Structure 1
């Protein structure tokens, strides 16, 4: 009886989820099996689009850039967020003000952040080149977003700036639930600050770090606005990621079926990360 009652209570939600997510997903899968072009009818090609992907060097370049972008940015956000969380957990003057300031990048809309950083990176009137020139660190303006050698690192830095607050406050919340008696006992045993961080803080924050990293990886891998607004995937495809390539195939080449297949090809990665994050959440609840 309890099982039936529970199923009846969640039935409306399941209907909404299937209608809002399930039906479009099935339609996308169906579309990826055709040669549909925008404005023209499509015909069934089976796994033809996925076969093209396997032999498409641009797709594998986009996959490489996506992994470099996602995992590079997440690693830096985790390190910076951990350091800031340790600092903000101390008794600082105006600690509330510092916490509010650190939260600002997270609150800034992605479009505004991307446009601001595009101006800052400009090699004609950008503030970054102006400061470096004034400090004598460079002789000529650097085209940060216009060079294949620096473009990917430049957009990674934008994502790091935007995402560090998420890690900072996630880890700060974890720090504040650590029992103060653990620190006192460690200090009595002669453990220094570094030893306390290694043996108390890191084990306590490990679940939060893993879950925050998984969530951030999913968000960063799917990031479209930052790269599209700043570089558009260039120069020379140096910052073309899977979302950018999907957009190009759909709206520049008008190959809608191939574009959907490009997007769905990354689905196993997301499914694996989501399943892992769900299990970790469930483990923490227990």
Structure 2
């Protein structure tokens, strides 16, 4: 006797009952068919989802490739700008008398290493991998060169700051404040205006009116204010770096005192004719490590002097 399975469907609204009698094999077959249909439906839905996701990934991949191309173009622009900076660095190093490093030093540590991490190798296409390799290699090189330039610029600034400080202490301007200063007696041998004998003149003379402002030729510190029969009232300024300047025949005792710091162009006295002098003028001398030097060798022309 065959065994059957009975499925009953009861309608609560209409009040009827339907019965279906299925043998065990048919029941199992029906359930299997239903499960297969469900599995195929789920597989179809999953396939559609994968296709949609694959399409999204392809679109993202295309967008990433476009982005990588833009990054590549930006890196090429940075490469051009870096080359310009390297050239400016060469010029500035020449200005401050710094030795020129070799190209190997300028591109210190360039190259080496894979452009992408090992776990990415199988996760990106060959085209994307090539772009990653190119971009990362160039970025690495630019970063290394930028590090070199920063160090080089720091060195140049250090040299320039020291050079600027030293220049401020070089007696490079005419020490009288007047429109058209002239020299009445230069550095070297001359005929002494009092004795008529040939004597060496250890400075230069600027004639002018009594009271004409006398100014410091450079930054420094007042080393001495004194009076003697030859120079009358005079001031000696120590500028450092072995340089000193002397200002003689001043019109009375200057107002400053020993140890006062003065700036280039600052008034330190007035022109006079104290001491051994035939008329109001300034006797101006420059000493390097105690030896007299021609002051004209330190005074820049008017165009250059305006820089100070």
Structure with greater strand share of residues: 2
TM-score, L = length of structure 1: 0.23
TM-score, L = length of structure 2: 0.21
Higher RCO (C-alpha under 8 Å, 6+ residues apart)? 1
Structure with greater helix share of residues: 1
